[in-house]
Amino acid sequence: MISGQLTFDYPVVFGAFIIFIPLLLFDILSGFRRYKHRIPGELQKKIRFSTIFFRVFIAFSIIALSGPRWGTGFTISEYTRGLDTVFAVDVSRSMDIRDAQTGGAFQSRLERGILIAKESTIAVSGARFAASIGRGKGYLAVPLTFDNEAVLSFLESLDGSSMTGRSTNLEALVEASANAFQNTSAARKVIVLVSDGESHSGVLRNALNRCVREGVIVTAVAVGSDEGRTVPPGSNAPHPNTISRRDAAVMRMAAERTGGIYIDANREDAASVLSSHLFSLAQEENPGSSRTESKQRRTFFIILAIAAYGASRFIPRFFSIKKLPLLSIVAVVLIFTSCSRGKLLLLEANYLFSQERYDEAIVPYQQALNYEDSSPYAGYGLGLTLYSLDEKTDALDFYGNSINKLKNLSDNEHRELRYRNYYNSGIIYFEEGDFISAADAFKEALRADPRRTDAKRNLEISLMSISMEQNRENRTEERNENREVLFDYIKQQEQQYWKSREWTPEVNLTGPDY
């Protein structure tokens, strides 16, 4: 019994059922009917059943391609992780204008925007932050990191004096900020655009269209005043009394188009509003969200299609029609007993992983951990999935879990799985700079399969890296020792020099002292 509503990801695929029209015409007009009186009755039945199973194979394949879903789903947001925020700061000359009024005092637009960004960074914990700056071009200055102090230090030192170029290009600034995000990361992606909205080059809408496609939210922090002030001297303005005003319409459009919010930086609680907004985005991704989807059932129809194709191929060759009902029952039993629940979960998880739907693949992998025959492979699959999500520490833990489960088995069993666990662990250790652990992991991989040249090559690179690191340390120690010897020599020479310059006491003074 199917529980829940039956839906399809790609219902247009059902149009492929039109293929049955030429197949039916072929069956009617084929020469088989012309010569069927010459074919033995038993063979006729076999051919007929083979044709039926082949048609069933085509039907199941079309249903599988349509992406059927039904039954109890899972909360999508339960398996997403974190919040990634990039502060995109406009550092053009107009940001130096002091028309940002807070608490009765005036600040420059840049100072006010940086203050809001810093307070929000401190208030929102557990998120990754980055920073980008832009004038004529955009630059990613600080990549995404959990080290909030790095972002705070950069914002503290930011004044735009090191930037070159003329005018303001908000498109380039948003594009540089969007480049900070990883496509494989499941975190919510937010760009906090700190600007007065004035843009003299580029097309901001192009960058916003990219953000919409990639699911990036742009939250606009509009600094400055609607009345504006005179552009500071030395800014290449067309007239000496050119007025620069905040373009609130552009900032509102950027926020509304991408699902963000517009924040007036002149509000006393602007930092609090931004922090609350970021918190709300992070909470949408926590367990307990009611947004669920039906479970993907494509794997089920793929298995049925394979079974139908096998029946269409083997029935005419080996089986008697009289035994067909019994053989069908035996085939079904073999299919569903040889493929245990854990293995079926692995098939589903592997398919989701191959489609780069990493968050969804985690669910069946975790369920497969509960079955003894699939647990080692589920641990390896979770390691791969978490590595793809840039969770390297957790990936190492699951690789180790899979290795431990294989220790109770003989070395000849699951050799490929042992090799892959150790090899992938070595890759992570090497990326983290732990060359000794990487070398140990590659050695274990070669013990599992001594024929693999990629592990041999990586082991050599790891050993070379260890040697280079040791030589570097030795050279540093030698330089320190040589420096101390050199300093002692210079000290002795200086002392000798000044000793030679010592004056001898004068005696028999007879002249005046001036």
Look up the pTM and report it.
0.44
Residue 283: pLDDT above 70? no
The pLDDT of residue 192: 94
Mean pLDDT lowest among 178-192, 205-219, 424-438, 461-475: 461-475
What domains, with CATH codes, occur in the chain? Answer: 1-80+290-324 (no CATH), 82-283 (3.40.50.410)
Per-residue pLDDT tens over the stretch 420-471: 889 999 999 988 888 899 999 988 888 888 888 888 888 888 888 888 877 7
Question: What average pLDDT does the chain have?
Answer: 76
The CA R_g of the chain, rounded to the nearest whole Å, is: 35
Strands 83-90 and 292-296: unpaired
* DSSP string over 54-93: HHHHHHHHHHHHT-EEEEEEEEGGGG---EEEEEEEE-SG
Residue 286: pLDDT above 50? no
Q: Mean pLDDT across the stretch 394-411?
A: 81
Mean pLDDT lowest among 121-135, 206-220, 400-414, 420-434: 400-414
Rounded Cα distance, 90 and 27, in Å:
71
Rounded Cα distance, 450 and 456, in Å:
8
Among 129, 142, 216, 138, which residue's Cα sits nearest to residue 170? 138
411: three-class secondary structure by DSSP = coil
Phi-psi region of 243 (alpha: psi -120 to 50; beta: other; left: phi over 0): beta
Rounded Cα distance, 161 and 152, in Å:
18
Q: Give residue 290's pLDDT band: very low, low, confident or very high (50, 70, 90).
A: very low
Among 268, 276, 281, which residue's Cα sits nearest to residue 115? 268
Instruction: Give the CA distances from residue 175 to residues 139, 190, 202, 261, in Å, rounded to whole numbers and listed in that order.
Output: 9, 13, 11, 19
Instruction: Give the CA distances from residue 103 to residues 120, 121, 196, 267, in Å, rounded to whole numbers and listed in that order.
Output: 19, 22, 20, 9
Of residues 225 and 165, more confidently modeled: 225
Of residues 405 and 159, more confidently modeled: 405
Mean pLDDT lowest among 99-113, 169-183, 246-260, 381-395: 99-113
Rounded Cα distance, 266 and 100, in Å:
6
The pLDDT of residue 30: 60
Percent of the chain with pLDDT over 70: 71
The pLDDT of residue 394: 85
Rounded Cα distance, 391 and 393, in Å:
6
- Full 3-state SS string of 103-149: CCEEECHHHHHHHHHHHHHHHCCCCEEEEEEECCCEEEEEEEECCHH
Residue 481: pLDDT above 90? no
Per-residue pLDDT tens over the stretch 74-97: 444 344 457 899 999 988 878 888
Q: What are phi and psi of 72, to 5 degrees?
A: -70, 125
Residue 27: pLDDT above 90? no
The owner of tokens 């009186």 is 37
The owner of tokens 């909360």 is 75
The pLDDT of residue 41: 59
Distance of CA 404 to the CA centre of its chain: 28
Q: Give residue 480's pLDDT band: very low, low, confident or very high (50, 70, 90).
A: low
